[in-house]
Amino acid sequence: MHILITRPLEDSKELILMLHSMNHKVSHLPLLQIKKVGIPELDFSQFNGIIFTSANALKNLDISKVDKNIVCFCVGLATERIAKEFGFQNIFCADGNVNNLKELILQNFDPKIGSILYVSGEIVSYDLQKDLTSENYVVKRVVNYTAIPNENLDINFLTDIKSSPPDMVFIYSENSARAFLNIIKKYKLDDIWMETNLMCIGEKASSALNDIKWKKIFLFNPGEEEFLLYKI
């Protein structure tokens, strides 16, 4: 199969190598460029819990002064894996959905214990801080990265996509979906996806691409990519 991967290379190297080992053709189009945002120095000792809604939030945070035994909430498996690599010991992991992450926090962290640090990107699709505050939590949100859409295609990549449209496209966020839609419109690629299966993390990502005619649309969690190969 021809498979299009849209995450930054550092987040998709292992997946691309695995797909190549299975003799699939892989095209790579990073839809977002992640840039670190400087933040004031934090006194981590004032927090009793920490929330990460993406792996990039972890990667762009100086955790050298963080107590690795702090209660750590991760949105999904990819974020949990990075948290473990960074030494966090007390991790609660949701299934990739921020709504489920909120429920996980409600069930496992009493707001009377203390405040929570919430580390995220600049653009979020769900106001987790607002919802937790309404449940009497004290939450400090820190934005430590931003995602810049990729607006241009290499001419060779464009030619290849037109002549051999992918059988599968993996989209990993609502922001990525919107960036992909902009590229589709800019390069007039609306009509080449009718035999392509769209794989999206979350309904908001798939909704952003609903106007395009796809063969089928599937929702998935990070880490399920190989499993999805056998669903089409």
pLDDT in tens, 184-219: 999 999 999 999 999 998 888 999 999 999 999 999
In whole angstroms, give the CA distance from residue 115 to residue 109.
10
Residue 5's φ and ψ, nearest 5 degrees, are: -105, 135
Residue 166 has pLDDT above 90, yes or no: yes
In whole angstroms, give the CA distance from residue 7 to residue 32.
7
| CATH T-level fold of 35-147 | Rossmann fold (3.40.50)
- Average pLDDT of the chain is 93
Q: What is the DSSP letter of 150?
A: P
pLDDT, tens digit, 9 for 90 and up, residues 119-162: 999 988 778 999 999 999 999 999 999 999 998 899 999 999 99
Percentage of residues of the chain with pLDDT beyond 90: 75
Give the pLDDT band of residue 169 (cuts 50, 70, 90).
very high
In whole angstroms, give the CA distance from residue 95 to residue 186.
34
In whole angstroms, give the CA distance from residue 93 to residue 78.
10
Q: Tokens for 168, please give them.
A: 């599968």
| CATH T-level fold of 2-31+150-228 | Rossmann fold (3.40.50)
β-pairing verdict for 139-149 and 32-36? antiparallel
Q: Where in the chain is the domain with CATH 3.40.50.10090?
A: 2-31+150-228, 35-147
State residue 88's pLDDT score: 97
**SS3 (DSSP) at 49:** strand
In whole angstroms, give the CA distance from residue 161 to residue 68.
45
Residue 223 has pLDDT above 80, yes or no: no
Residue 74's φ and ψ, nearest 5 degrees, are: -120, 140
State residue 148's pLDDT score: 92
State residue 76's pLDDT score: 85
Q: What is the DSSP letter of 168?
A: E
Residue 142's φ and ψ, nearest 5 degrees, are: -125, 125
Residue 13's φ and ψ, nearest 5 degrees, are: -55, -50
In whole angstroms, give the CA distance from residue 144 to residue 130.
19
Q: The sheet that has 197-200: what strands, in order across it?
A: 25-28, 2-5, 168-171, 197-200, 216-219
Q: Tokens for 88, please give them.
A: 């966090």
Give the pLDDT band of residue 10 (cuts 50, 70, 90).
confident
Distances (CA, A) of 158 to 8, 13, 27, 86, 152: 18, 22, 11, 38, 10
Residues recorded for the chain = 232
β-pairing verdict for 32-36 and 25-28? unpaired
pTM for this predicted structure: 0.80
Contact present, 119 and 57 (Cβ < 8 Å): yes
